Structure 1
Amino acid sequence: MTTANRAKWLRFLVLILGGGTIYKLANVKDAFYVPLQEVMGLSHTQIGTLLSVNSIVATALFVLGGMLADRFGTRKLIPLGLIGAGLLGLYMATFPGFGGMLVVFALLAVCADCLYWPALLKAVRNLGSDDEQGRMFGFLEGGRGVVDTVVAFSALGVFVVAGSGALGLKSAILFYAIIDIVAGIAAWFLLNSAAEKRAEAEPVGLSGLIEAMRVPAIWLVSLNVFMVYTVYCGLTYFIPYLKEMYQLPVALVGAYGIINQYFLKVLGGPAGGYMADKSFRSASRYIKWAFLALPPVMVLILGLPTGAAYIYPAMAAMLSFAFIVFSMRGVFWAPMSEIGIPSRITGSAFGLGCLIGYAPGMFAYMVYGAILDRFPGQQGYTYVFALMSVLAVIGSLVAGRLNRIIGGPDAKAAVPA
């Protein structure tokens, strides 16, 4: 491996480290929900409010984040986002009241979703060549899964060693904060590449966003992400389905959740990247056929008899469905390279894409949940899973149209001169 390649992959590892840690503070409830209630005195409603505020601010600032990535460069914004999140974690560890936590969660969205995430996507896109975008984004997703798992379990270990009380929670939050700060400092020193210097040499602002909005293919990429993410949100309801319809034991519910949330991310991202680059030679083409693979798997899921005797076949079928979805998540940003977005407006393109693509997080869970509340039992799950299949078919049409624009006679019209 050449020196240039070693430097490239070292920078990529720093990006993975930051991507796997910057959201831990905003999602501290994942491992420490009960301690947040017992130590900080937060109610269910207050914790829900914190998460809602974080999501609202994040959604509102995605586009601004993309513009900032184009205007100031990723080498400045990535360390700023990470170190800023770390400093907020230091303040969170003082156990401020609910009002202080509201400010923290709002500012965490600024650091993670405005300053960091669009800049991260731009940095990854610029780090790899056009023929390895699927692998780069796939390994980013898989690497984030590994880091996410290691950091989460390490924080849990710190919590236990420190006594599992107030000191334990404080220590775990400080652990998250220090990891963010260390990752930010490392990013500052290691992301100063020649490509980054060229990107900073031609900064753009609002003009970059306007230029990105005029590219039809960007809207298709964004809609493609939107469809994948809407189906992804439905994976949440496999867990209660297994518990209600197959009497899944509590211990297995936890095991399935860990595999579904972490292990499949680790495997699915790289697998999707490899398939997109090597087998399909296009991320958009891979996503099209992956979408079409989902309805038959769902037919198998709904066709299996219910009851404890069929737990393992049901789990295998659902994990297969989820694996395909995670493989799509790993590469759904790779088409940004396929449509030929100029480097100078990559941040604006990703910011616009994030605004549209991640929008299902604001309503999909409510829609799926309302269906299950309106139609309890097997009927409700059948409706939800059927809806996911219909969305997959629609997603295949979107991905197919995107692929035709990329590879067909309309390709030159995808990006304005």
Structure 2
Amino acid sequence: MQKTKVSISPRQIFILFLMGFAYSIIYATPFIQYVFYDDLASALNATNTQLGVLIAIFGVGNLIAPIGGVISDKFNAKTVYLIGMYATCLLSFIFAMNMNYKFAVFIWSALAVAALFLFFPAHTKLVRLLGDEKSQGTLFGTADALYGLASVVINFIALAVYAKFAIKAFGGGIGGLRAVIISYGVVGLIVTTVLIFLLPNPDKALRSAAAEEGKTKISRAEWIGVFKDPRTWLSGITVFSCYSVGLAVTYFTPYMTNVLGITVVSSGVIAVIRTYGIRVIGAPLGGFLGDKINSVSRVIGITLGLGGIVTVIFMTMTGHASAGAVTAITLLIGFLIQISRGGMMSIPSEMKIPRKYAATAAGIVCAVGFCPDLFLYTLYGHWLDTYGNAGYTRIFIYTICMMVLGVVNSIVIHFYKKKYVETGRVEIEGGNDEIEKIGQI
């Protein structure tokens, strides 16, 4: 097995950290109910179902991400990225000044356009362009870890702001919520402005590597070619399986308290460690290992396979299991999942989809991979409402099925690479792969 020397510079890490802040801000307001659920419900005078509808509205943005990817490939991805960020900050300010449910529906729809149509495909392309093709797993794994770290910082800032303004003089909890949303916009503006000077100009880099400037702009036939390419869909299925598994892990916390008898405080501590602590280690490790063996997909397949075995063990545990055993098994599952998720967005690179089409491919991968947002929370909620604690069994079985899907997809990728990619028998329909010559920028 061929091994590759992998490295990432301090400058790249710093840029990725700031991009992690931007990524956190993009999702902070749309998912603010995860932290300030009751205050948001009060501010909007909304029911639980209505808050769920807001998440679904935002999730629909995943379906238009492929078109956003085309925009980022057709025009300057950096410009599209910055527009998406500034639009998100502006929408946060506007929403903070007029918090009611009908207006929130409009804001969440607009946030879906800014975040998932404009920002996400451009973000993915810019991360890929930060390094050469041999370090993509490390880049994306590090980006995911730094996003988690930035999320911790953002949440601490939000909680501090909330504590200062959630007093009677500012309208109580609603006043605190309004201050938090404004703080998201302020931090976003600062970070985005700094990134203007640090992010590379993708058009300039592509032109310097192409023989002709026209080759940096993809044609209509090439857009269709990216959509039809099996490599794009195999990448999307990778993200679909990894993301589905990641969502399921959030239900481990109530399962530990409701079924296994772990205290709320203990399960909460485990959840924080699993969500943030392990992510900082697991995500970059997964990407790094994938780069070392030249196959992020193989790392994903192995870790999801092991995760399925450990999840079966977790399902057999009863209330008589020791807290230590429950903690160890839970953290092990979380660690394996974070390793698998670390490099999942680098599969298009592994499959040799040219960087010229990075945003278009990312948009399609986003639509396929993150579509569980549209149905999975509702499905899990239905199972728990209908079957009580027995609903957790269905959640775990579904999770294991997703792990199996990830393993099978990894095997398919392996044989597809052997037959087509490594033999040079595949290219984007209607285009050429000359852009593969681009190095680190």
Structure 2 residue 183 is the aligned partner of structure 1 residue 175: yes
Q: 1:205 to 1:35 in 2, by over 3 A?
A: farther
Q: Distance in 2 between matches of 1:334 and 1:283?
A: 8
Query: Does the aligned pair in 2 maintain the 1:69–1:77 contact within 8 Å?
Result: yes
Q: Distance in 2 between matches of 1:286 and 1:87?
A: 40
Q: Distance in 2 between matches of 1:148 and 1:253?
A: 20
Q: 1:64 to 1:45 in 2, by over 3 A?
A: same
Identity %: 26
After the TM superposition, which residues 51-66 of structure 1 pair with which residues of structure 2 at under 5 Å, given as runs? 51-56=55-60, 58-66=61-69
Structure 2 residue 275 is the aligned partner of structure 1 residue 271: no
Match of 1:357 in 2: 369
Cα displacement (A) at 1:9: 4.1
Q: Distance in 2 between matches of 1:381 and 1:332?
A: 26
After the TM superposition, which residues 242-391 of structure 1 pair with which residues of structure 2 at under 5 Å, given as runs? 242-278=256-292, 280-307=293-320, 310-377=322-389, 379-391=390-402
CA RMSD of aligned residues (A): 2.2
What TM-score results when the alignment is normalised by the length of structure 2? 0.86
Equivalent position to 1:15, from 13, 19, 24: 19
Equivalent position to 1:197, from 196, 200, 204: 204
Q: 1:341 to 1:33 in 2, by over 3 A?
A: same
Structure 2 residue 112 is the aligned partner of structure 1 residue 109: yes
Q: Distance in 1 between matches of 2:376 and 2:251?
A: 12
Query: Does the aligned pair in 2 maintain the 1:70–1:208 contact within 8 Å?
Result: no
Aligned length: 409
SS for the counterpart of 2:286 is: helix
What TM-score results when the alignment is normalised by the length of structure 1? 0.91
Structure 2 residue 218 is the aligned partner of structure 1 residue 215: no
Residues 253-262 or 390-399, more deviating: 253-262
Corresponding letter in the other structure for 1:338: E
Q: 1:71 to 1:386 in 2, by over 3 A?
A: same
Match of 2:238 in 1: 224
Q: Distance in 2 between matches of 1:271 and 1:316?
A: 19
Q: Distance in 1 between matches of 2:75 and 2:218?
A: 8
Residues 108-117 or 29-38, more deviating: 29-38
Q: Distance in 2 between matches of 1:257 and 1:224?
A: 24
Query: Does the aligned pair in 1 maintain the 2:20–2:150 contact within 8 Å?
Result: yes
Equivalent position to 2:417, from 402, 406, 411: 406
Corresponding letter in the other structure for 1:240: P
Query: Does the aligned pair in 1 maintain the 2:162–2:179 contact within 8 Å?
Result: yes
Structure 2 residue 196 is the aligned partner of structure 1 residue 188: yes
Cα displacement (A) at 1:180: 1.3
Corresponding letter in the other structure for 2:27: Y
Cα displacement (A) at 1:50: 1.9
Cα displacement (A) at 1:409: 5.2
SS for the counterpart of 2:330 is: helix
Q: Distance in 1 between matches of 2:387 and 2:245?
A: 20
Q: Which runs of 5+ in 2 are unaligned?
A: 1-7, 208-212, 433-441
Structure 2 residue 52 is the aligned partner of structure 1 residue 48: yes
Cα displacement (A) at 1:132: 0.8
Q: 1:285 to 1:41 in 2, by over 3 A?
A: same
After the TM superposition, which residues 128-207 of structure 1 pair with which residues of structure 2 at under 5 Å, given as runs? 128-164=131-167, 165=172, 166-193=174-201, 195-199=202-206, 201=213, 202-204=216-218, 206-207=220-221
Q: 1:192 to 1:37 in 2, by over 3 A?
A: same
Corresponding letter in the other structure for 2:122: A
Cα displacement (A) at 1:350: 0.8
Cα displacement (A) at 1:134: 0.8
Residues 207-216 or 332-341, more deviating: 207-216
Cα displacement (A) at 1:196: 4.1
Q: Which runs of 5+ in 1 are unaligned?
A: none
Equivalent position to 2:75, from 64, 72, 75: 72
Cα displacement (A) at 1:403: 2.1
SS for the counterpart of 1:340 is: coil
